[in-house]
Chain A
Amino acid sequence: MSEAAAAQLQKTSLNPVHRACNAKMVDFGGWDMPVQYSGLIDEHNTVRKAVGLFDVSHMGEIEIQGPEAAALVDYVTTNSVAKLKIGQAHYSGLLYEHGGFVDDILVHKVAPDSFFICVNASNQEKDFDHIVAHNTFDAEVIYASEKYAQIAIQGPRGLETLQKLTATQLAGIKYYWFTDGEVSGTPARIARTGYTGEDGFEIYIDPSEAARIWNELLEAGAEFGIKPAGLGARNTLRLESKMALYGHEIHASINPLEADLAWIVKFDKGDFIGREALLKQKENGLTRKLVGFEMRGRGIGRDGYEVLVDGTPAGWVTSGSPAPTLNKNIGLCYLPLEFAKTGQMIQVLIRNQPVDAEVVETPFYKRSK
């Protein structure tokens, strides 16, 4: 991408760092982001085996505060906020009345009356407007994206790397919990979360400190073989772990039951946006469901490719790629419920040629604890 084309795009505070180390930059939903540094497969394997560093500052942050903050978050999201303890985070859905996704999000409970929500970059304004439009509660919704840079330190050596820069005892933070502390002298929200299927942390810091912290993390992780990793590796890592990507597995026309995300929908918690539609869908039964597949023939079933069963159009691929850890070509696709079962043979239409694939158990990859 040329400098001129890039000038039109939004940039994270780490943008000059990426350009200085010759990262390959792409337009990612209107953001000038690094897709790879040393090479996608190398970065992918580094995260699985050691530790990788990701700039995810393009992600948005929304803060919800006030006496009825919990009630508002509970009403606009699918997961149960009542079950969250202070210092805990969970994955959740932001839905329309018809049950389709506005976005998928991470909700952090900072205090009884204070929540911190991490949302997808390209959805941040939409999410904010959606929450504000439904705010009939005594709560304030704050667009906070400009206040935070976000760096993900992911992989089995992530804890040791980050530990060098903080007095917070990281081993004491459980998976999907967080704490407010300091990283190299700057205030940081330190969350044991991620989008790679590995252990790791995501830190939220002041954007003006991001370049310094990034470089210090690279130094701290040098002995473990740390490398910066781009959005390319982030995508293959999340796909192997079957984590949904907005715009692919989930969007406005897909609901969480179809996306195999029933676990984030808590019907018994009381009313929430989309509940009626999801209940109706549950009663009537699903018509389609997200499943994983492995290519059996030669080829890669990619996003948007048509899926056939016995030669008849049946569904579509939402994400597909070689899986570097597994050395297989994998993907996710929607299929009519009757075909959405392990062992089902399907064909993916690759450049007008049907190529055999098989529905398999997911996640494709699960780390050993």
Chain B
Amino acid sequence: MISYPEKFVYTKEHEWVHANGDIATVGITYHAQHELGDIVYVDLPKIGSTVEQGKSLGSVESVKAVSDIYSPVTGEVTEINEALSTSPEKLNEDPHGGAWLVKVKMTAPDEIKKLLSAGDYQNYIGAES
């Protein structure tokens, strides 16, 4: 059984956020990687660039298709997961853990209050799939 951590919040575009103070760790969900299939490329923003909630943060590419990643938060990128550029398949293996995408210093931390809880997200994908 796949677990969607309670400490994360989720978007309807299938990203997750784990907030620790004003730093948000962002990834894509198990459901997202499963829908994409074998992931072969991950394009991430540069450290220091700014991202905006709901706007494109980068993209993930599977054998079949390219898919945008939408930033769930607004702020400045402080870290990117370099390992994904050489091992994009980690996104299929550990999407809620080691295969996080970016860390963002949030400038509007209240934004994440609008996002979905683990339970709401699972209900949402249950209805969708």
Contact = CB atoms under 8 A, between A and B. Distances in A.
Report, as a range, how many residues of chain A touch the other chain: 10 to 19
Given A40-B64, A232-B63, A232-B64, A2 B38 contact: no
B57 interface: no
Given A40-B64, A232-B64, A300-B61, A322 B40 contact: yes
Interface in B103-129: 128-129
B122 to A, nearest CB: 16
A322 B66 contact: no
B40 A300 contact: yes
A299 B129 CA distance: 29
Contacts of A236: 63
B37 A39 contact: yes
Nearest to A329: B40
The SS class assigned to the B binding surface is mixed
Nearest to A298: B41
B40 A36 contact: no
A22 to B, nearest CB: 11
Nearest to B37: A40
Interface string B39-50: 011000000000
B38 to A, nearest CB: 5
Nearest to B35: A24
Given A39-B37, A300-B40, A324 B63 contact: yes
Nearest to A231: B64
Nearest to A26: B64
A2 B37 contact: no
A77 interface: no
A324 B38 CA distance: 11
Contacts of B59: 351
Contact of A36 (B37, B41, B65, B128): B37
A321 interface: yes
A2 B128 contact: yes
Contacts of B129: 2
Given A2-B128, A2-B129, A300 B41 contact: yes
Contacts of A35: 37, 64
Given A232-B64, A236-B63, A302-B66, A39 B38 contact: yes
Nearest to B59: A351
Contacts of A302: 65-66
A86 interface: no
Given A35-B64, A39-B38, A232-B63, 18 more contacts: A2-B128, A24-B35, A35-B37, A36-B37, A39-B37, A40-B38, A40-B62, A40-B63, A41-B63, A232-B64, A236-B63, A298-B41, A299-B41, A300-B40, A300-B41, A300-B61, A300-B66, A324-B63
17 contacts: A2-B128, A2-B129, A24-B35, A35-B64, A39-B38, A40-B37, A40-B63, A236-B63, A300-B40, A300-B61, A300-B66, A302-B65, A302-B66, A321-B63, A321-B64, A351-B59, A351-B66
Which 8 interchain pairs have the tightest Cβ spacing? A41-B38, A40-B63, A322-B40, A40-B37, A40-B38, A322-B63, A232-B64, A39-B38
